[in-house]
Amino acid sequence: MSGSCGCKGCPPGDDKKIKDAEYTIALAGNANVGKSVTFNQLTGVDQIIGNWPGKTVERAEGLLQYKGHRIRVIDLPGIYSFSTYSLEELVSRDYIALEHPDAVVNVIDASALERNLFFTIQLLELAPPLLISVNQIDLAEKKGISVDTEKLSRLLGVPVIPTIAIKGKGIDTLTAGILDLAERRPVPPVLKYGKEVEERIGKLVPRIEPLALPYPVRFTAIKLLERDPSLVKLVQAQDPGIVSAADALAAEIEAIHGESVCVVMSAERYNVADRIVAEVITVKAPEDGIPKKSLTDRLDQVALHPFFGYLAVFLVIGGLLVWTFVVGARISDLLQSLLSQIQPYEPVITGSLARILWNGAFSGLVAGITLVIPYVLPFYLLLAVMEDSGYLTRIAVMLDRGMHKLGLHGKAVIPLILGYGCNVPACFSCRIMESPKQKLLAAFLVTLIPCTARTVVILGLVGHFVGIWWALGLYAFDILLIILVGRIAYRVVPGESVGLIMEMPDYHVPSASVVLKQTWARTKSLIWFVFPAYIVGSALIQVFYAVGLLTPVNNLLAPITVLWLGLPVVVGITLIFGIVRKELTILTLAVLFGTTNFALFLTPVQLIVIALVSMLYIPCLSVIIVLASEFGWKRSLEISLVEVVMAIGIGGIAFRLLSLVMG
Amino acid sequence: MAQEQVEEYLEAIYDIAGTDGAAKTTAIAKCLKVAPASVTEALQSLAEKNLVNYEPYRGASLTGEGKKIAETIKRRHRLLEVFLADVLHINRAKVHDEACRMEHTISEDTENALCRMLNAPARCPHGSPILPCAKGVGSCSECDAVTGSGLPFPEEIRSAAIIPVTDLEPHQKGTIAFIRGDCRVVQRLSDLGLTLGTAVSVTRKAPLNGPVEVSVRRTKLAIDHAIAENIFVDATQGDRA
How far does A110 lie from chain B, in Å, by closest CA? 10
pLDDT of residue A347: 58
3-class secondary structure, A165: helix
Most confident range, picked from A133-137, A402-406, A465-469, A537-541: A133-137
Q: How far apart are CA A135 and CA A459, in angstroms?
A: 47
Q: How far apart are CA A96 and CA A116, in angstroms?
A: 18
pLDDT of residue A119: 96
How far does B229 lie from chain A, in Å, by closest CA? 12
A267 contacts B190? CB cut-off 8 A: yes
Instruction: Please tell me the least confidently modeled range out of A260-274, A352-366, A552-566, B37-51.
Output: A352-366
B190 contacts A266? CB cut-off 8 A: yes
Residue B239 confidence (pLDDT) above 80: no
Of the pLDDT bands very low, low, confident and very high (cuts 50, 70, 90), residue A413 is very high
pLDDT of residue A613: 93
Q: For helices A436-446 and A468-492, what crossing angle results, to 10°?
A: 160
Instruction: Please state, for a pLDDT cut of 90, what percent of chain A lies above it.
Output: 46
pLDDT of residue B143: 58
Over range A632-653, report the average pLDDT.
Answer: 94
Of the pLDDT bands very low, low, confident and very high (cuts 50, 70, 90), residue A292 is low
The residues facing B173 across adjacent strands are B201
CB B176 within 8 Å of CB A492: no
| Length reported for chain B | 241
Q: How far apart are CA B38 and CA B42, in angstroms?
A: 6
CB A440 within 8 Å of CB A631: yes
Instruction: Please state, for a pLDDT cut of 90, what percent of chain B lies above it.
Output: 10
Interface probe, candidates B185, B202, B218, chain A, greatest A C-beta count within 10 A: B218
∠ CA(B29), CA(B34), CA(B35), 5° rounding?
A: 80
DSSP states along A216-236: -HHHHHHHHHTT-HHHHHHHH
Assess whether the region B3-62 and the region B162-234 belong to the same CATH fold. Answer: no
CATH number of A195-283: 1.10.287.1770
pLDDT of residue A342: 61
Q: Would you identify the CATH topology of the domain A22-184?
A: Rossmann fold (3.40.50)
How far does B184 lie from chain A, in Å, by closest CA? 7
The minimal CB distance from B222 to the residues A83, A115, A500 is found for A500
Interface probe, candidates A228, A269, A500, A506, chain B, greatest B C-beta count within 10 A: A500
Across chain A, what does the average pLDDT equal?
Answer: 86
pLDDT tens, B45-78?
888 888 888 887 778 888 888 888 888 888 888 8
Helix count (H) and strand count (E) of chain B? 9, 8
pLDDT of residue A344: 53
A115 contacts B227? CB cut-off 8 A: no
| Domain boundaries B3-62, CATH class | mainly alpha
CB-based contact (8 Å) between A263 and chain B?
A: yes
End-to-end CA distance of chain B: 54
Chain A partners within 8 Å of B94 (Cβ):
258
Q: How far apart are CA B228 and CA B165, in angstroms?
A: 6
pLDDT of residue B178: 81
∠ CA(A477), CA(A481), CA(A484), 5° rounding?
A: 140
CB-based contact (8 Å) between B91 and chain A?
A: yes
Instruction: Please state, for a pLDDT cut of 70, what percent of chain A lies above it.
Output: 93
3-class secondary structure, B27: helix
* Sequence ranges of the domains in chain A: 22-184, 195-283, 308-662
A80 contacts B221? CB cut-off 8 A: no
Q: Which residue has the higher pLDDT, A9 or A529?
A: A529
pLDDT of residue A111: 92
Assess whether the region A22-184 and the region A195-283 belong to the same CATH fold. Answer: no
How far does A323 lie from chain B, in Å, by closest CA? 29
pLDDT of residue A291: 63
Give me the amino acid identity at A178.
I
Chain A partners within 8 Å of B84 (Cβ):
none
| Domain boundaries B77-147, CATH class | mainly alpha
Beta-carbon contacts of residue A636 (< 8 Å; ≥ 6 apart): A624, A625, A627, A628
Residue A477 confidence (pLDDT) above 90: yes
Among chain A residues, the shortest Cα distance to B212 is held by A397
B206 contacts A401? CB cut-off 8 A: yes
B211 contacts A80? CB cut-off 8 A: no
CB-based contact (8 Å) between A118 and chain B?
A: yes
CB-based contact (8 Å) between A84 and chain B?
A: yes
pLDDT tens, A215-259?
999 999 999 999 998 899 999 999 999 999 999 999 999 888 878
The secondary structure of residue A372, as a DSSP letter, is I
CB-based contact (8 Å) between A86 and chain B?
A: no
Over range A200-225, report the average pLDDT.
Answer: 93
Over range A348-374, report the average pLDDT.
Answer: 76
Over range A600-604, report the average pLDDT.
Answer: 90
The pair phi, psi for residue A564, each rounded to 5°, is -85, -45
Residue A23 confidence (pLDDT) above 80: yes
The minimal CB distance from B195 to the residues A112, A267, A503 is found for A267
CATH number of B162-234: 2.30.30.90
pLDDT tens, B107-159?
888 888 888 787 767 666 666 666 665 554 545 555 555 555 444 444 444 44
Q: How far apart are CA A193 and CA A558, in angstroms?
A: 74
Over range B171-193, report the average pLDDT.
Answer: 86
A398 contacts B190? CB cut-off 8 A: no
pLDDT of residue A147: 94
Chain A partners within 8 Å of B175 (Cβ):
none
Of the pLDDT bands very low, low, confident and very high (cuts 50, 70, 90), residue A189 is very high
CB-based contact (8 Å) between A507 and chain B?
A: no
CB-based contact (8 Å) between B88 and chain A?
A: no
In angstroms, the Cα distances linking A85 to A229, B59, B221 are 9, 42, 21
In angstroms, the Cα distances linking A274 to A105, A116, B217 are 21, 11, 9
Over range A72-80, report the average pLDDT.
Answer: 92
CB-based contact (8 Å) between B204 and chain A?
A: yes
* Sequence ranges of the domains in chain B: 3-62, 77-147, 162-234
Q: How far apart are CA B122 and CA B75, in angstroms?
A: 10
The minimal CB distance from B211 to the residues A114, A258, A397 is found for A397
Q: How far apart are CA A291 and CA A302, in angstroms?
A: 20
pLDDT of residue A180: 93
The minimal CB distance from A80 to the residues B183, B191, B211 is found for B191
Residue A552 confidence (pLDDT) above 50: yes
B90 contacts A258? CB cut-off 8 A: yes
Chain A partners within 8 Å of B183 (Cβ):
260, 262
pLDDT of residue B216: 93
Long-range contacts of B15-20 (CB under 8 A, 24+ apart): B17/B59, B17/B60, B17/B61, B17/B62, B20/B59
How far does B9 lie from chain A, in Å, by closest CA? 26
The minimal CB distance from B204 to the residues A266, A291, A304 is found for A304
In 3D, which of A431, A459, A620 has the Cα closest to residue A531? Answer: A620
3-state DSSP helix/strand/coil % of chain A, to nearest 5: 65, 10, 25
The minimal CB distance from A499 to the residues B93, B207, B226 is found for B226
Chain B partners within 8 Å of A83 (Cβ):
187, 191
pLDDT of residue A18: 30
Of the pLDDT bands very low, low, confident and very high (cuts 50, 70, 90), residue A459 is confident
Q: How far apart are CA B13 and CA A271, in angstroms?
A: 44
Instruction: Please tell me the least confidently modeled range out of A327-336, B75-84, B123-132.
Output: B123-132
Per residue, the 3-state secondary structure of A400-460, as one string, reads HHHHHCCCCCHHHHHHHHHHCCCHHHHHHHHHHCCCHHHHHHHHHHHCCCCCHHHHHHHHH
Residue A560 confidence (pLDDT) above 60: yes
